[in-house]
Amino acid sequence: MSDNQLPEGDPGRYEAVMGFHLAIWEPNFCQFRVKLGVQHMNRQGRPHGGVISSLIDSAGMFAGNKDPDGERRRKAVTVSMSCNFIGAAKGDELVCEGRVLKRGRSTFFSEARLFDGVNGPLLASGQGAYKFLD
């Protein structure tokens, strides 16, 4: 395995560095969770917009890169992504769920919703387009 390849089931180096835990990973759906620490906060003491955008992007990507016909992880890259900031986090954990909206042979489209904890209010949402590399 080369330095740029990840073992199956590994959430990814970036996600690991950010403290994102891949709690659920199924074909067409995933859930990331992150316990918030000082490294995730902006100067106002709220989760940084980059952390929120990263969760939206990661959830959108992982929702579509598990092959629905098998257990392998498909390689993909983000083509475009939008993020809408709706509310401010008050808890100490963020939960982001990604779902595939449409899958083609070479691309897929996902949406992601980010919540303030497991049963908390919606804080952000987004959509993305992703291109398979394999």
Q: What is the CATH number of the domain that holds 106?
A: 3.10.129.10
- Domain span at residue 44 reads 13-132
Q: Could you tell me if residue 39 is inside a domain?
A: yes
Averaged pLDDT, 113-119: 94
Q: Could you tell me if residue 74 is inside a domain?
A: yes
Q: What is the pLDDT of residues 35-64, one digit of tens each?
A: 999 999 999 999 999 999 999 999 999 999
Q: What is the pLDDT of residues 63-87, one digit of tens each?
A: 999 877 766 778 999 999 999 999 9
CA distance 89 to 134: 37
CA distance 34 to 55: 9
Q: CB of 20 within 8 A of CB of 57?
A: no
Q: Could you tell me if residue 95 is inside a domain?
A: yes
Q: Could you tell me if residue 18 is inside a domain?
A: yes
Q: Could you tell me if residue 5 is inside a domain?
A: no
User: How many structural domains is the chain composed of?
Assistant: 1
Q: Could you tell me if residue 8 is inside a domain?
A: no
Q: Could you tell me if residue 61 is inside a domain?
A: yes
- Predicted local distance difference test score (pLDDT) of residue 71: 65
3-state secondary structure the chain: CCCCCCCCCCCCHHHHHHCCEEEEEECCEEEEEEECCHHHECCCCCECHHHHHHHHHHHHHHHHCECCCCCCECCEEEEEEEEEECCCCCCCEEEEEEEEEEECCCEEEEEEEEEECCCCCEEEEEEEEEEECC
CA distance 57 to 10: 17
CA distance 97 to 125: 10
Q: What is the pTM of this model?
A: 0.88
Residue 80, both tokens: 């475009």
Q: Could you tell me if residue 67 is inside a domain?
A: yes
